A and B are shown apart, each in its own frame.
Chain A
Amino acid sequence: MTSLVDRFLRWPVTAVLWKDVVLETRTKDTLVSVFVFALLSIVVFNFALNPTPQNVALVAPGILWVAFTFGGVLGLTRSFAVEKERGGMQSLLLTPAGRDSIYLGKVLSIFVFMLAVEVVTFPIFAVIYNLPLAAPEFIPVALLATLGIAAVGTLFSAMAVNTRAREVMLPLLFLPIAVPVIVAAVEASGPAITGEPWGDAIQWLPILAVFDVVFLVICSLGFGFVVQD
């Protein structure tokens, strides 16, 4: 069993994921900040918009993805800040692992952290907005949209970390490119979280999948240029 785990972790992608997970269990920087931001957004929007049973299906998906996306930006900023400190990124780049493997490892760790926050936040959101607690249709939407956000965000986080105002630069670079993923996620989430039939909204799932593949391919190719000194 141990040797199986060792073999699994000798793949650079999983080695980077393991390292980030261990670091996060020690510091909890990313999980706490993303969760607190997402929760605050959900609560504030609830008071600001005061959704009724008639309009909740219209406003809730947007609120949910604003909370997850902007919370994710905080996590993305932290993801490469930890590499920048003490030259960690340089030490990664000195290994023979391909730049694409390092990129995919970072995407995977952001994906896992964001999903963890979404799993905890969604039931609270459902209770506050009086929506069904069990929403299995939301699972593929959350998986695909979170992967898309992580794919784009990881590249721009690596880019922004070398700038002086990285907290400002990351949303400026990331959000315009991530808009298609966020729009598709909002459109697909409507029926998924309210328990209504999918209808036309199901067409957004393959669109999300296509965005994910395109972003993963383009960003993994671009990552090597971004991290080159």
Chain B
Amino acid sequence: MTECSGHAVRKTLTTILSQSQAVDEVATLQKFGPLKSVSVGAGTRNSLLPFYVPTASGILGGALSTDAKQTVSGQKNEHAPSSNSGALDNETSRTVPDSHGLSVSEFDVQSDAAAKEAFLAATDDSGFETMQVQIVGRRKVLLVSPDQTYTGMYPYPVGHPLDGRSMVDWADVAYDRFPNAAGVTGRVCVLAPGDVLFVPEGWWRHEQGLSHTHAHVQLRFGRSPLGSIPGSGIFVRTRGNSQTQIPPDFAIGRPRHADASLFFVGRRVEKRVVGFEGLAEARRWLEIIAQDEIGAWCDLSTVDGARRVEIARRIREEIDFGLPPPKISKEAFREQLDTEFKVGAGGTGTGTLNRTNPKVQGENPGRSVAPFHDETLALARAPPRNVTALALASHRELRGKGRYEKFLRELIDGRMAPTPWLDDGFVDPLFVSEAIARLGNDNSKQGNDSLELMNPVGSSSLRVALPGGGGLTAQKKFLPDDRTDVERRFPEMFVDTLKKKGWGGTKHTPVSVLNPEHPQFVGKK
């Protein structure tokens, strides 16, 4: 029988560690995925694509996002500039009957098929690695690592129309709404014709045209069909509750980089909760799961309760398995091995491996470390390759477990709430036309002065006084100023009242330290 010694295990691991370049690397194939598509981007000086990550929904939406009426035969493109010069192509596209027998543009049908194809090729579990080849002009590209996705980039929620983009307006950052944006760091480059920029998957990109004319070609490489535990080299395919572990030897393509997996794990978790609870309730349930209060909110004797407990369990496991291990130095990892695989006090030939880990227990006070299994005895007997895989997996499992609380809090921080500021300045066109119509009717009546033109004839824009105060223009609705003198002088005392009336600008009460919404709030949130 082979002697199982803690010293032997430690020696083997230390040897392997010294041979490996980095802790998070396990040798796998290093090919890109297959080339999926080639796209062209062209713009003018200062054209700006704010921070975004290409996602499947974005690609599908992009290919389908044109209004059908603009390419259907017989209708001209309303956005097209004047064709007096004759330079424009006024010919409408050919039409074909669609599945309903309607006459639609031939290329709308083809675009639809292409978009669906692209969508199938690019599910959220498989991101893109891209190569951007600059062809004309110069372009400035700022890249931010995906590990800052939920700690500063504030992506729009997955069900949002702006999914895959950052909520922060980086040209004018609202730090009160997005305080973590102050900690974001990125890398910048200026691309000249002929330059090729390699963008790994999940990286945020922010592109700005510098030349009057610039154009580039983007080559989009997909991923292998298998997902991976980041950096571990052990691949996991989840189908329902079953998980299959595949050793590194069978890895196809490149493993997902640890940083990128943060982005994708977050999206997967979000989609799962949204799928079960809906967009409006997703944030609340993620908060409940993060606080481990699912038991208090769900009645296990009901179908819904049991279902929610099951969802919570899946989410925790998805995070535990998918979350990358924290970045530690080689020395720290060596020290960790010393602590973890030391010989027990017995000093017998078989030895006992002490797996107590104060750091891990400190991170997760509510969770107990799992008892040591029989695999540990096989650890020393197994070939070195398996020792590496098992030990590194064990190492990562320990570091990753229980971190769902922190991750979920980061995931919902400042996100997954309605985004009313995107509708600022919006006036319902029907409302405007209705107001103007009423204005005309009322003006025809003698002696009715409830509506009147607020600006003299010749002014640039029409302003209409609304009954009850306030006004309306083509761009904006003005509120009637019905505040009392006290409300005007001390708005902070009437925050709720003024908010109900539609007055913004007053966010906090004077007793700020006791107001949970205030940034300097001192109590427990």
Are these two chains actual partners, yes or no? no
Residues of A participating in the B interface, judged by any CB pair closer than 8 Å: none
